[in-house]
């Protein structure tokens, strides 16, 4: 009996190991593929379809995205994006030990909640949204995919995919679809104010609407524009967004 139990446990371990190895190889291949090809669909986009919001998106290349929206995203979400390796450890530590301040004393700071653009991209493309226990279960694969895209994609590709896949309104994914929906123009032609308004909805794009502009967006987008002004001329950011 003991021999049979050991044999059964060994088979279980071999099966588990093969499953883990298969998952690792599959995730690696898919991640590398997304270095050149936009993800066909994400879990968040699938959820929008199932919830009845529809799916409005139009993936565009780096050169078809205005530098204004690239700068607005960095200014609002992750001002240290060009410099970190996927995580802003100081901001993570600060967010764990103190309530975040609304006033920024330094022109280069990470985004709200210390979630970098790299982390948000990993979550948007490979994982799921949501809070509660699902958020904690997501942390380990999120860290894995964050480092993986940092190693295989590079900053420019991460920002390009981020701006193409993030939800910017109910069922509206990516900057091109948002630009068309809100301002009836291509993403390449967004002004600084329009870019800031779109990015201002990101904490909760289903609640904080761009058109008609919610109170949050009206309050938030001028602050984003101020941060954009602060970052003008930063050599690392200028080299990235242009």
Residues in the chain where the model's pLDDT stays below 50: 100-111, 113
pLDDT digits (tens, 9 = 90+) for 175-203: 999 999 999 999 999 999 999 999 999 98
Distance between CA 85 and CA 106 in Å, rounded? Answer: 20
Distance between CA 44 and CA 64 in Å, rounded? Answer: 24
Chain centre distance of CA 188:
20
pLDDT digits (tens, 9 = 90+) for 131-148: 666 667 788 899 999 999
Tell me if 169 sits within 8 A of 181, measured CB to CB: yes
Residue 196 CB neighbours (<10 A): 27
Q: Where are the beta strands (DSSP E) in 145-221?
A: 167-169, 172-173
Residue 134: the pLDDT is 64
pTM given for the model: 0.86
Residue 175: the pLDDT is 98
How is the chain split into domains, by residue range? 43-241
> In terms of CATH, what superfamily is 43-241?
Biosynthetic peptidoglycan transglycosylase-like (1.10.3810.10)
Residue 104: the pLDDT is 42
Residue 100: the pLDDT is 45
Distance between CA 109 and CA 91 in Å, rounded? Answer: 8
Distances (CA, A) of 153 to 31, 85, 149, 229: 9, 12, 5, 28
């Amino acid at each position: 009996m003991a021999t049979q139990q050991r044999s059964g446990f060994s088979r279980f371990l071999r099966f588990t190991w093969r499953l883990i190895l298969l998952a690792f190889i599959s995730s690696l291949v898919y991640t590398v593929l997304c270095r050149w090809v936009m993800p066909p669909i994400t879990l968040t986009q699938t959820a929008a379809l199932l919830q009845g919001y529809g799916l409005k998106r139009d993936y565009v290349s780096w050169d078809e995205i205005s530098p204004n929206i690239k700068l607005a995203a960095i200014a609002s979400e992750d001002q240290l994006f060009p410099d970190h390796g996927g995580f802003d450890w100081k901001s993570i530590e600060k967010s764990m030990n103190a309530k975040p301040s609304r006033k920024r004393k330094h022109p280069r700071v990470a985004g709200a909640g210390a979630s970098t653009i790299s982390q948000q991209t990993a979550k948007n493309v490979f994982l799921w949204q949501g809070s509660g226990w699902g958020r904690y279960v997501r942390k380990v694969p999120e860290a894995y995919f964050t480092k993986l895209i940092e190693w295989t994609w590079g900053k420019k590709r991460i920002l390009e995919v981020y701006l193409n896949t993030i939800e910017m309104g109910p069922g509206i994914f990516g900057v091109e679809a948002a630009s068309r929906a809100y301002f009836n123009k291509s993403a390449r032609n967004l002004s600084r104010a329009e870019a800031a308004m779109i990015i201002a909805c990101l904490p909760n794009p289903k609640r904080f609407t761009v058109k008609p502009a919610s109170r949050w967006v009206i309050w938030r987008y001028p602050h984003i524009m101020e941060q954009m002004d602060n970052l003008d001329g930063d050599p690392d950011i200028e080299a990235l967004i242009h």
